[in-house]
Amino acid sequence: MQADALKKLAEAGRFEELARALAQAYPQGLVGEREALVTFLVNKVGLAHADAVRVAEALEAAGYAHHLPGERPRWIFTSKPVSLRALMRMLDQEYAEFVGEGDEDPREEALRFIASRLQVDRVVAEEILEGLAAAGYAELAYHAEAERDRYLFKFPEIFAMTYRV
């Protein structure tokens, strides 16, 4: 999507459509620290700084934009509002029990968990998993107990501190 189209969506407050466009344009997220989203909205989309701050805050407050701090910081975008804080808790408390001992594809298993727990469709689950993997929060690894590969989710301490989890 062109910058002028993104600008029109932002200026009109059409945050769901803006988030959908950002998720499609940046499936692995927008690399950078917290200020990267505002910088992007100013430099690439053409918003005034004050408007960019307002739009970034609105996207985050609505659950469409999520900053993932850490070694590979980035903003990820979801076309539907989600709570990464809730997902982190669910992954920590429920994912190990959810994962079966069968031969289900690990990616499908992770997508099914995310979709069912956050009550989102597959597209949004893929947006989340892709963003988490790009930020280093999710990786495919061999699990000795299960004797097979499965996704390992790890949220660094900085995430818990940032989101007060």
Helix (H) or strand (E) holding 106: helix 106-118
In tens, the pLDDT along 80-109 reads: 999 888 888 888 888 888 887 667 799 999
Helix (H) or strand (E) holding 77: strand 74-77
Q: Are β-strands 138-143 and 74-77 bridged in parallel, bridged antiparallel, or unpaired?
A: unpaired
Which residues are registered as beta bridge partners of 141?
150
CA pair distance 161, 87, nearest whole angstrom:
16
| Residues recorded for the chain | 165
pLDDT at 146 over 90: no
AA letter at 109: E
Range of the domain at 55: 3-77
What pLDDT shows up at residue 159? 66
Chosen domain end from 77, 104, 126: 77
What pLDDT shows up at residue 44? 96
Task: Write down the mean pLDDT value for the chain.
Answer: 89
DSSP 32: S
pLDDT at 34 over 60: yes
What pLDDT shows up at residue 157? 76
In this structure, the answer to whether residues 123 and 144 fall within a common structural domain is yes
Chosen domain end from 77, 104, 137: 77
In tens, the pLDDT along 41-62 reads: 999 999 999 999 999 999 999 9
What CATH number should be reported for the domain holding residue 107? 1.10.10
In tens, the pLDDT along 120-142 reads: 999 999 999 999 999 999 999 98
- By percentage, how much of the chain surpasses pLDDT 70? 92
Chosen domain end from 52, 77, 102: 77
**What b/e string do you get for 120-149 counting C-beta neighbours within 10 Å, with b at 16 or more?**
beeebbbbbbbbbbbbebbeeeeeeeeeee
| Residue 9 binned pLDDT confidence (cut-offs 50, 70, 90) | very high
